[in-house]
Amino acid sequence: MQRLQVSVPAQPSKCDVLIGRGILSAAGTEIRRRLGRRAQRLALVSNKKVFKLYGPAVVDSLEASGFQVSHWLMGDGERYKSLKTAETALQFFSEHGIERTDAVVSLGGGVTGDVSGFAAATYLRGISFVQIPTTLVAQIDASIGGKVGVNLSSGKNRAGAFHQPRVVIADLETLKTLPARELTAGWCECIKQGAIGGRKLFKQTVDYLSQTTGKRMAVSLQLQNLIAVHLAFKASIVRSDAREDPERKDPRSRRILNFGHTVGHALEELTGYRRFRHGEAVGWGMLVAGELSKNLGLLDQSELESLRAGVRLCGPLPAARDIDADAILNAVTHDKKSARGLVQWILLERIGRPRIVSGNEIDVAILSMSIRDVLQKRNYE
Ligand SMILES: NC(=O)c1ccc[n+]([C@@H]2O[C@H](COP(=O)([O-])OP(=O)(O)OC[C@H]3O[C@@H](n4cnc5c(N)ncnc54)[C@H](O)[C@@H]3O)[C@@H](O)[C@H]2O)c1
Ligand SMILES: [Zn+2]
């Protein structure tokens, strides 16, 4: 088992991140070690599919460490990342006698983690939270950093909080049951982290994908190391800018994690969260951000080719050619990452070197052309 620590300034507790193979059975001991003896009850939040696969092992482990566990299964899918789901979770905690010294445990992907973390952040003004991420997206990204929240009809993640988990337990064995598209989505987020994080991280990710594409998911030490470096990268960004300071525009600001997300979120919204997995939409979003960077003269063609090759290695992306480019343009101007009404674009100067550019510095005609070039041309399919 590998251990990492994510400590965030001004946060009373640090967050330990544990990565390993077959470590679900250690969940009880690890959680008990951090919550102490006063914690009696745990509310485990999952969904039907994930709970069926991993719930019994987790519950056994938690009960063996003396916890009383009640589980609540939320709906499966982005559309359940809502205030209504959070409210039902809060009612559940209340009805099951969860107290301030108790905790919420999320078992599942980013959707479960975001909603249950949001409920944990608000229940009794905030109780302890534990993440057991079971998707690649959640293991390398969503479970780290303390951003929790739900979507509103006006956009993704519009209601939320910063609430660090006490511990993250990432068991790589759970990735074996992930459908191919969920892996593609996760790899897209890995390529994103490489593209903004550094050439080394990008290359390590691309090398791994080149060697494993088309093969069955093997839970190897190489995969464990790759996930560990991605986690460490995310943790380093969170440490340097825990609350995503809106004034920061430097290449280590937390905002750079939104690379590919401006157009990605627009695609998700315009297709009612049904067509794309979140990471797949980010895959398209990175291609648009890369094309835009090139068209603005920031990024060399050869670097753009590397980005394209990286995204291609993640797997096929659902078609986006039928989505109206003007609707995307309109949607990106409402992206929540806007500051004073301006979208903040994360662009690239080269692989590993992001640049934050305000929407008003970008010619709409170039933006429109970049969107059309990527989404409607065959060379991206
Ligand atoms: N909080 C953050 O910092 C952060 C960062 C990145 C993404 N997110 C959010 O995370 C969400 C996406 O998360 P996701 O990609 O994990 O999606 P998800 O939670 O919807 O999970 C994807 C699918 O895989 C299933 N699943 C989960 N684990 C499985 C397993 N081990 N085997 C088989 N099936 C399994 C789920 O039931 C679901 O159907 C989005 O809402 C996104 O906004 C949050
Ligand atoms: Zn994302």
With a 6 Å cutoff on the Cβ, whether 176 touches ligand 1 is no
Q: Which comes out higher in pLDDT, residue 5 or 281? A: 281
84 phi, psi to nearest 5 deg: -65, -45
User: Does the domain made of 2-177 have the CATH classification 3.40.50.1970?
Assistant: yes
CA-to-CA distance for 202 and 352, rounded, in angstroms? Answer: 7
All CATH 1.20.1090.10 domain ranges of the chain, comma separated, are: 180-380
CA-to-CA distance for 331 and 325, rounded, in angstroms? Answer: 10
Q: What is the DSSP letter of 171?
A: E
Structure tokens at 248: 């920061």
Q: Calculate the CA 286 to chain-centre distance.
A: 15
CA-to-CA distance for 116 and 90, rounded, in angstroms? Answer: 9
Q: Lowest-pLDDT range, 57-71, 110-124, 244-258, 263-277?
A: 244-258
Which run of H or of E encompasses 191?
helix 180-197
Structure tokens at 333: 């101007």
Residues 194 and 257: beta-carbon distance below 8 Å: no
With a 6 Å cutoff on the Cβ, whether 185 touches ligand 1 is yes
Q: What is the DSSP letter of 39?
A: -
Residue 336, pLDDT above cutoff 60: no
- Banded pLDDT at 216 (limits 50, 70, 90): confident
Write the pLDDT tens digit of every residue in 300-330. Answer: 999 999 999 999 999 999 999 999 999 999 9
With a 6 Å cutoff on the Cβ, whether 110 touches ligand 1 is yes
With a 6 Å cutoff on the Cβ, whether 344 touches ligand 1 is no
Mean pLDDT of 197-210: 97
Mean pLDDT of 15-27: 93
Which atom of ligand 1 lies at the shortest distance from residue 114's CA?
1
Q: Calculate the CA 158 to chain-centre distance.
A: 15
Residue 74, pLDDT above cutoff 70: yes
3-state secondary structure of 219: coil
Q: Lowest-pLDDT range, 27-31, 165-169, 331-335?
A: 331-335
The residue among 138, 122, 236 whose CA lies nearest residue 178 is: 138
State the amino acid at position 49 in one-letter form.
Answer: K
Residue with tokens 């205030």: 83
- Banded pLDDT at 333 (limits 50, 70, 90): confident
pLDDT of residue 12: 58
Mutation to probe ligand 1, out of 278, 282, 337 (largest number of atoms < 8 A from CB): 278
Residues 93 and 115: beta-carbon distance below 8 Å: no
- Banded pLDDT at 9 (limits 50, 70, 90): low
CA-to-CA distance for 271 and 380, rounded, in angstroms? Answer: 19
| Mean pLDDT value across the chain | 92
All CATH 3.40.50.1970 domain ranges of the chain, comma separated, are: 2-177
Residue 176, pLDDT above cutoff 90: yes
- Banded pLDDT at 282 (limits 50, 70, 90): very high
Decide which of 1.20.1250.20, 1.25.40.10, 1.20.1090.10, 3.50.50.60 is the CATH code for 180-380: 1.20.1090.10
Residue 6, pLDDT above cutoff 70: no
Residue 379, pLDDT above cutoff 70: no
